[in-house]
């Protein structure tokens, strides 16, 4: 019983996976492909007396392309193998036991193409890019945000003050860092009340809408309670560490339909996305996140401290902003080692539909947080007007100080 059929033409109802396959030792790649196809669908390591021909014909996958030079393989799976609306089940098939098989030295799930039948079984984002822009009232430029630094240690009052300084300096968005939740030194509910209060103060003073994104990541029921608390107190956003809370918890949060924008942080993703020969690509994670329904997603920067080449970041961006069976798009977020000097390059790569978040690049400014936020907005203004940063900095001392400290990439 073979699953390799190089003459097979995928149907519109097939889910198609693109893998990188490195077989064990000197084994043929075809043998590894047979094992992958079987284990990820209806088969196992040996022939089965219980395998009915009807099951094989109806549910058997097809390995329809093998590139021995690159190691890339395409496998088509009938959509009936998968439970609609169930990310855990889908991943348990196409990204489950196959990674532990001896038949492969390395295996990487590079991409997944979802058929319309499966894609439409998910909610997708509630707001999308246009909805987020409506919340903020900003339609013609990238959004500028910051992450409160230090990551941990500030009490709730100091946290709220740093957020205020960021907003009045020019940031649209302030968010918690990925590992700040409900520690004793900064209790969640106290932090929410004080920071939202400072958000209101900043909105009154600047005449701009401002956003606070509190990290609600926790056990699922607790996470939902925290989301409700944010909503009850005037919050418009929640932030979730989507990998560490798990896809099931994320689906539950989206199904609650609380009416708040969901910001997705990808902490821990590199544990399985970074190795180019093994694991799962960030592109796959991004597609899953859009299906489930996050409105904003960290995708990398192509500049800054985080790994991720330009081509990969652009491919991920295109996957979450393009047309996809009528699902709303997801707002790309770039964050990680950014500062004002990097903004023109980032805008050139990402375009206007990007959320630029700088933590150290705001709070590490020589003259403090407010000046750091001002420098970020000044750098963005320069980029949008195609004015060189050095020229714009001549009349904007905050930007000049940032360039003096960090330079340009």
- Catalytic site positions: 149, 265
Instruction: Return d(Cα 102, Cα 97) in angstroms, integer.
Output: 11
Q: Closest by alpha carbon to 362, among 174, 204, 142, 156?
A: 174
Partnered with residue 311 across adjacent β-strands are none
368: left (phi over 0), alpha (psi -120 to 50) or beta: left
Dig out the tokens for 164 from the structure.
């205020």
Dig out the tokens for 341 from the structure.
């000097």
Instruction: Return d(Cα 273, Cα 108) in angstroms, integer.
Output: 9
- Token look-up 């945000």 returns 145
218 upstream amide cis, omega within 30 of 0: no
Dig out the tokens for 392 from the structure.
């714009």
- DSSP 3-state of 142: coil
Instruction: Give the Cβ contact number of residue 313 at 10 Å.
Output: 22
């Amino acid at each position: 019983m073979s699953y390799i059929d190089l003459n097979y033409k995928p149907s519109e109802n097939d889910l198609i996976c693109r893998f990188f396959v490195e077989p064990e030792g000197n084994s043929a790649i075809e043998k590894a492909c047979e094992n992958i196809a079987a284990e990820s669908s209806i088969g196992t390591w040996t022939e089965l007396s219980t395998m009915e021909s009807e099951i094989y014909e109806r549910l058997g996958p097809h390995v329809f392309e093998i590139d021995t030079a690159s190691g890339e393989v395409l496998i088509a799976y009938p959509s009936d193998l998968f439970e609609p609306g169930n990310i855990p089940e889908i991943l348990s098939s196409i990204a489950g036991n196959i990674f532990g098989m001896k038949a492969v030295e390395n295996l990487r799930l590079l991409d997944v193409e979802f058929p319309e039948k499966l894609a439409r079984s998910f909610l997708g984002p509630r707001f999308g890019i246009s909805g987020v822009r409506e919340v903020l009232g900003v339609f013609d430029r990238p959004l500028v945000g910051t992450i409160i630094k230090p990551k941990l240690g500030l009490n709730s009052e100091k946290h709220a003050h740093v957020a205020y300084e960021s907003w009045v300096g020019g940031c649209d968005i302030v968010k918690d860092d990925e590992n700040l939740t409900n520690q004793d030194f900064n209790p969640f509910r106290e932090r929410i009340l004080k920071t939202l209060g400072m958000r209101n103060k900043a909105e009154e003073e600047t005449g701009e809408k401002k956003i606070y994104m509190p990290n609600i990541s926790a056990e699922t029921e607790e996470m939902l309670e925290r989301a409700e608390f944010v909503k009850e107190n005037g919050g418009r956003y929640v932030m979730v560490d989507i990998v560490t809370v798990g896809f099931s918890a994320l689906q539950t949060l989206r199904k609650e339909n609380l009416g708040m924008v969901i910001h997705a942080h990808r902490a821990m993703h590199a544990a399985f996305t970074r190795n180019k020969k093994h694991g799962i690509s960030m592109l796959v994670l991004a597609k899953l996140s859009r299906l489930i329904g996050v409105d904003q997603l960290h995708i990398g920067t192509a500049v800054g401290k985080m790994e991720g080449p330009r081509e990969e970041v652009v491919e991920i961006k295109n996957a979450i902003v393009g047309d996809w069976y009528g699902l709303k798009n997801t707002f790309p977020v770039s964050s990680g080692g950014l500062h004002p000097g990097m903004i023109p390059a980032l805008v050139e790569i990402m375009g206007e539909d990007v959320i630029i978040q700088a933590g150290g690049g705001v709070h590490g400014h020589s003259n403090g947080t407010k000046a750091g936020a001002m420098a970020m907005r000044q750098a963005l203004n320069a980029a949008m007007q195609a004015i060189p940063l050095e020229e714009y900095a001549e009349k904007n001392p905050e930007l000049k100080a940032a360039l003096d400290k960090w330079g340009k990439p």
